[in-house]
Amino acid sequence: MGSVSLPAAQSHNSRCLLPPFFLSARRVKELQALVVRFLTKRFIGDYERNAGNLYTRQVQIEGETLAIQVQDTPGIQVHENSLSCSEQLNRCIRWADAVVIVFSITDYKSYELISQLHQHVQQLHLGTRLPVVVVANKADLLHIKQVDPQLGLQLASMLGCSFYEVSVSENYSDVYSAFHVLCKEVSHKQQPSSTPEKRRTSLIPRPKSPNMQDLKRRFKQALSAKVRTVTSV
């Protein structure tokens, strides 16, 4: 899963948005494939998990340039009939201004977890209207489907969410459309006029990137090594 921030790009027509957040109902690799497909237009079928990686891409939303940062984060533990989220993941969800929930039409269990994920997100955003998009992946594998995409549409409608059916491996345009519409909705929600809801959200601190913490640690180690070398000389 990955958190996505939208800091303002260096442009006259740019604006700072808080992040959408991405949750995979079952498979982390499936979510990574979706995010990387959007960022690079390429599909890579196998990923080495690396929590803390940061990715950036600029997009145009109604004439404004937005720089999207995507962070890979750890998180959901799926049990037999329930799920639990780490506190780090919960902080990321609280930080988000939108959520994408991804499931696979070839995995019925992932479909069953959508309602629980949605409920968990809403509990962390009580009193706010959080944009949520449900994405059904692997639309190209209808011959082995376990979930009719129509069920995903019906469930998303019942939950008050937008719905997109995509094939990450076969079709970039559908993936881009889902991201673009979500970013547009967040952009409209975060107009310059600040509302009490927006002010509340802006007080939530951005989660620190494990990647940046690791870089700082390595930098300190490198400096210490240089100091030891100079001292020994």
CA dist 56 and 89 (Å) reads: 20
Q: What is the model's pLDDT at position 233?
A: 43
Residues with Cβ within 8 Å of residue 82, at least 6 apart in sequence: 116
Domains of the chain, CATH where assigned: 21-191 (3.40.50.300)
Place of tokens 């967040």: 186
pLDDT digits (tens, 9 = 90+) for 39-65: 767 776 655 554 555 566 777 777 777
Cross-strand bridge partners of residue 137: 104
CA dist 82 and 136 (Å) reads: 20
The answer to pTM > 0.75 is no
The dihedral sign for the CA sequence 36, 187, 130, 90: positive
pLDDT digits (tens, 9 = 90+) for 134-144: 989 888 898 99
CA dist 135 and 105 (Å) reads: 10
What percent of the chain has a predicted confidence (pLDDT) above 90?
A: 12
pLDDT digits (tens, 9 = 90+) for 178-220: 888 877 777 777 665 544 444 344 444 444 444 445 545 554 5
129 CB neighbour count, 10 Å cutoff: 9
CA dist 72 and 22 (Å) reads: 9
Query: Does the pLDDT at position 173 exceed 50?
Result: yes
